[in-house]
Amino acid sequence: MWGITRDLTDEQIKGVARQFSSQPPVSGTVSSNPALSDQGKWLYENGAKEREVEACIVCHGHDGEGVNTNPRVAGQHRDYFVTAMLQFRSRLRENKVMQHVAQNLTDHEIAALVEYVSTK
């Protein structure tokens, strides 16, 4: 998206934001791996404080609906979610909070989280 959006004007950016924000939220899909989804639910709700992984529920809401300016993650497309988490972890995507959280997540935990949030 960076290459496509870098030349947009402020007005065009606002128009794109209005268009996307006017769309109804998508519904999640049924998990193909309920045990993995349950692990993701636990991590989403509790975090892993011993590794400084904050519970996702704090910023993204009980049902992944998003809180204040923190985005909705419920029903997020699996591939997009994984890519975003890996980009946060490798610091290719900027957000200090998410970089800190993601750097302490294992690949298995990211898979569990995506399995859970994609069902919301």
Tell me the per-residue pLDDT of 63-109, one tens digit each, with 9 for 90 and over: 999 999 999 999 998 999 999 999 999 999 999 999 999 999 999 99
Q: Is residue 9 part of a domain?
A: no
Q: Is residue 6 part of a domain?
A: no
Q: Is residue 3 part of a domain?
A: no
Question: Residue 6's pLDDT is what?
Answer: 87
**What residue numbers bound the domain in which 41 lies?**
33-117
Residue in the block written with tokens 């980009």:
87
| CB atoms inside a 10 Å sphere around CB 86 | 15
**Total-model pTM:** 0.83
Give 25's pLDDT tier (boundaries 50, 70, 90): confident
Residues contacting 93, CB < 8 A, separation 6+: 84, 87, 99
Q: Is residue 54 part of a domain?
A: yes
Q: Is residue 19 part of a domain?
A: no
Q: Is residue 18 part of a domain?
A: no
Q: Is residue 1 part of a domain?
A: no
Percent of all residues in the chain with a pLDDT value above 90, rounded to a whole number: 81
Residue 113 has pLDDT above 90, yes or no: yes
Q: Is residue 27 part of a domain?
A: no
Residue 2 has pLDDT above 80, yes or no: no
Q: What is the CATH number of the domain that holds 77?
A: 1.10.760.10
Domain count, the chain: 1
